[in-house]
Amino acid sequence: MSELFDAVDALLTSRAVLPPPEERKRLRQAHALTVDEVASALKVRRATVTSWEAGRTEPRPPERDAYARLLDGLAKLYPAPAPAPAPAPAPASAEAEAVAAEAAPAPAETGTAAVTVPEHPETPASAAQVPATRPTETTRPSTTSHRPGTQKAVRAAAPAPGTDPRFANGPLAVVDVDEDGRVLAYCTGGLVLDVPAKSLPSLVDWTLKEAGLGQPRLSGSGKDADPLLVLTGAACERYGLPATLTDEERTAGRLPEGHRAVKQLVRAEWKLTKRGFGPWARIYRPATGSERACVQLCIPSWNALDTRHWGGAGHLPPAELARVLGVYASRVTTPRGSTAVTGLELMTALHPPTRASEPDENGKRHSEHNPGSLGKDPVDPAPCEAPDGHPVLKDLPRFHVRGPGEQLFEEAYDWARPMTDAECTLRHLVGIDVNLAFGAGANGLIVGLGAPTHVKNPVFDPKLPGSWLVDLSHVDLSKVKVGKDRWAELDGDLLPSPFTPKGDRPAGPAWYATPTVAYAVELGYEVRPFEAHVRYDNGRYLDGWYTRLRDAYLATMADLGVHADTDPEVFLAAMEGWKDRDPDLAVVVAAVKATVKGGLGKLRERPRAEGWRPGEPWRALSRPTWRPDIRAAVISRTRINLHRKIVKHAAFTGQYPIAVLSDCVVYAADGPSPLDFLPYRQGRPLPGGFKLGVNPGLVKHEGTQSVLWGEEVRERFDAPELNLARYIKDGTVTGMDNGE
């Protein structure tokens, strides 16, 4: 009988009730759990948990019962917030309005005056569609005495479900001065706060004590994001800052230490980081215990928002700028500098270097190394991984030029070739571009976490991250392995080498990252390294970073009408004019892409003058996140991923690329669309080849030009191997192939 009861219990648990997908994610984040932690506890892949939270798949027994038990426990700890009460009708008189103002609760219980901005009448409200309208006469802040701590809320926007009550007003605010001289803080969600602060130090105090700004930590052992204030030009002048920097200040990247505003902060016992008071200023007091007192400033009129990554966001009205930065902050993280700096900070936020230990015999916890992180101390690279001028190379002769046998040189593709006679008879050159290519290259990549170990005559291990000195000149692309027991005969002269950025065949031994050497083995060739610098302490450090940025990218593209898992024709149609549907959200997409590339670039940051001399350390070397080996591994894997698709496409169709630039590939075709040369069959792409779609690693249409255009451009510059991928997007040629 007990066996029958067990069978019945199993049937009951197999249908365990689960909350909606968005609630699953809220509960996990409320307890500061990462996807990796949940996946490890349930003994499933992290991608499986992500799919459960996105609603793409549902858990099955026995994981379903365990997952339901986890969510049920979290729901008891973090019940869903009650829905906001319906707003009270507007008072009928000025006296009634004053009474209503006195009775209304202050946002986040800060006592700060607030007004809400009306929604766009033509667009549905969503997390990405924060209104961009200035306050109207009927929604103005209270005009009572502006003393800190005495303000009342006119109408407070209710926090979104799952919002941390400490940061009820969002992660950031854009501070501006209106026509009446009032200082207003435009927050995310359409909330506008009345700012009572009269000086810069009091503005910092107000932000920390009353504004209700900030963002919860992304990892259980991490730190909450500091509140961000974005100061417009008018706000700068109100608080004693210049609206724009002088040429001297712009060159220095900061205000001089004797500036009045800097002195004000010093007198109020506030400190600035080593970057000083620049476009991204961090104002803080030393932490006491777990309490942080830090405010980040962003000043767009000082070029804080680089137009290459943020477009014209720096010139948007305050409410629209709050919307753009708010969407980015909610989906990526609160900006802490340039997109490159933010990308690097995101890595640390997801994998903090330390965590609290288990209680000792006295019940006290101590700081200890957080497994899976890079730690808190920087490590020296192997000599082959170090860029020129690094201290580990100080004993090299002056002006010594290192060759491939001395230096690891893993970079993105910049390759092109002349067109064949057959290709010249075709009509079009079609460019396709890999979405978030370097992010996809980081996904699932095993990278070193600690210092390298030097090994002589090692046996190559594709699962061991490191740098390998090996001769790959014998790899012949005219015959390669494209399956378990399948070889393909190709025209190797029409393919770039996968082992060099310029696509040239290696001439002898050279240093390569693990993914490059592993690809030579995959193509069917034997490798025998002479030596290696390997890292036995390793892990998938970038997985959470990639997932966060991927989700931000896909969510924003979906808001713009481009969805995942659509037919190729539907996808191409959705990509037509996608930026024009909402230019502000298009800026967010550009910023997410720049965060990926910039964050990886920061792993190998070079000196920035500051009196630096070759052989001396520079500032970036003091960071544990200065890791050129990780950057090299990501670029190596990204280049190999692209080459693998090129080979599969050539083996199946006999078509070869004309040019490759980073993540863009150009083919000659009879028609102007990617569907005119990509081998789709009944809507299905070539396995392992190029696939149209918005997901990272899939491709989109980059641009189409005529074959005559390509030949004319190359003839004009007398360069038969001019890289046409650089100009395929709009056909505009601004200079020679070196970018001049």
Per-residue confidence (pLDDT) for residue 693, from 0 to 100: 97
Residue 208 has pLDDT above 50, yes or no: yes
Listing DSSP states for 345-399 in one string gives HHHHHHS-SEEEPPP-TTS---EEE-TTS--SS--PPPGGGSPTT-GGGTTSPTT
* Phi/psi at 206 (5° precision): -60, -40
Per-residue confidence (pLDDT) for residue 122, from 0 to 100: 36
Where do the domains of the chain lie? 2-77, 94-335
Q: How far apart are CA 472 and CA 640, in angstroms?
A: 14
Per-residue confidence (pLDDT) for residue 102, from 0 to 100: 34
Which range, of 312-316, 357-361, 501-505, averages the lowest pLDDT?
A: 357-361
Q: Which of 709, 643, 649, 640 is nearest to 674 (CA)?
A: 649
Listing DSSP states for 491-546 in one string gives -GGGS--TTSTT-PPP-SEEEEEHHHHHHHHHTT-----SEEEE-SSEE-TTHHHH
Segment 660-678 shows an average pLDDT of: 97
Per-residue confidence (pLDDT) for residue 104, from 0 to 100: 35
Q: How far apart are CA 469 and CA 534, in angstroms?
A: 11
Residue 331 has pLDDT above 90, yes or no: yes
* Phi/psi at 254 (5° precision): -170, 165
Report how far Cα 392 is from the mean position of its chain's Cα atoms: 31
pLDDT level of residue 569 (50, 70, 90 thresholds): very high
Per-residue confidence (pLDDT) for residue 242, from 0 to 100: 95
Q: Which of 503, 437, 499 is nearest to 468 (CA)?
A: 499
Listing DSSP states for 50-70 in one string gives HHHHHTSS---TTHHHHHHHH
73: number of Cβ within 10 Å: 12
Residue 356 has pLDDT above 70, yes or no: yes
Q: How far apart are CA 342 and CA 60, in angstroms?
A: 38
- Tell me the two tokens of residue 573: 């149609």
Per-residue confidence (pLDDT) for residue 712, from 0 to 100: 94
Averaging pLDDT over each range in 229-243, 353-367, 472-486, 678-692, which range is the top one?
229-243
Listing DSSP states for 274-334 in one string gives TT-SSSEEEEEEEEETTEEEEEEEE-GGGT-S-HHHHTTGGGS-HHHHHHHHHHHHHHT--
Report how far Cα 80 is from the mean position of its chain's Cα atoms: 29
pLDDT level of residue 35 (50, 70, 90 thresholds): confident
* Residue 571 or 10, more confident: 571
Per-residue confidence (pLDDT) for residue 509, from 0 to 100: 97
**Beta-strand relationship, 531-534 and 538-539:** unpaired
Residue 156 has pLDDT above 60, yes or no: no
Which range, of 136-145, 410-419, 709-718, averages the lowest pLDDT?
A: 136-145
Residue 141 has pLDDT above 60, yes or no: no
- Cβ–Cβ under 8 Å, residues 321 and 164: no
Report how far Cα 503 is from the mean position of its chain's Cα atoms: 29
Per-residue confidence (pLDDT) for residue 89, from 0 to 100: 42
Residue 486 has pLDDT above 70, yes or no: yes
- Cβ–Cβ under 8 Å, residues 557 and 566: no
Segment 355-370 shows an average pLDDT of: 87
Residue that has been written with the tokens 């809400």 in this structure: 116
The CATH number assigned to the domain with range 2-77 reads: 1.10.260
* Residue 278 or 25, more confident: 278
pLDDT level of residue 720 (50, 70, 90 thresholds): confident
- Cβ–Cβ under 8 Å, residues 725 and 661: yes
Find the distance separating the first CA and the last CA of the chain, reported in whole Å.
Answer: 83
Segment 19-29 shows an average pLDDT of: 87
Q: How far apart are CA 211 and CA 295, in angstroms?
A: 11
- Tell me the two tokens of residue 637: 């894997």
- Cβ–Cβ under 8 Å, residues 132 and 120: yes
Judge residue 9's burial from the number of C-beta atoms within 10 Å of its C-beta, 0-12 exposed, 13-18 middle, 19 or more buried.
exposed
Mean pLDDT for the chain? 86
Report how far Cα 243 is from the mean position of its chain's Cα atoms: 30
- Tell me the two tokens of residue 156: 């407070």
Per-residue confidence (pLDDT) for residue 308, from 0 to 100: 94
- Tell me the two tokens of residue 314: 């720096």
Residue 529 has pLDDT above 80, yes or no: yes
**Quick check: helix, strand or coil at residue 592?**
helix
pLDDT level of residue 82 (50, 70, 90 thresholds): low
227: number of Cβ within 10 Å: 23
Segment 486-492 shows an average pLDDT of: 93
- Cβ–Cβ under 8 Å, residues 325 and 587: no
- Tell me the two tokens of residue 646: 């090129």
User: CA separation (Å) from 112 to 118, 124, 157, 178, 323?
Assistant: 19, 28, 12, 18, 21
CB burial string 408-445: b at 16+ within 10 A, e below: bbbebbbbbbebeeebeebebbbbbbbbbbbbbbbbeb
- Tell me the two tokens of residue 228: 């961000």
Q: How far apart are CA 632 and CA 166, in angstroms?
A: 40
CA angle 448, 454, 458 (to 5 degrees): 95
**Beta-strand relationship, 531-534 and 466-471:** antiparallel
**Quick check: helix, strand or coil at residue 229?**
strand
- Cβ–Cβ under 8 Å, residues 301 and 232: yes
**Tens-digit pLDDT profile for residues 366-376:** 889 999 999 99
Per-residue confidence (pLDDT) for residue 462, from 0 to 100: 97
Segment 320-347 shows an average pLDDT of: 97
- Tell me the two tokens of residue 341: 């700096």
Residue 635 has pLDDT above 80, yes or no: yes
* Residue 346 or 165, more confident: 346
SS3 string, 410-464, reads CCCCEEECCCCHHHHCCCEEEEEEECCHHHHHHCCCCEECCCCEEEECCCCCCCC
Q: Model-level pTM greater than 0.85?
A: no
Report how far Cα 341 is from the mean position of its chain's Cα atoms: 10
Residue 108 has pLDDT above 50, yes or no: no
**Quick check: helix, strand or coil at residue 158?**
coil
Per-residue confidence (pLDDT) for residue 28, from 0 to 100: 87
The sign one gets for the Cα dihedral 346, 347, 349, 350 is positive
Q: How far apart are CA 706 and CA 635, in angstroms?
A: 31
pLDDT level of residue 149 (50, 70, 90 thresholds): very low
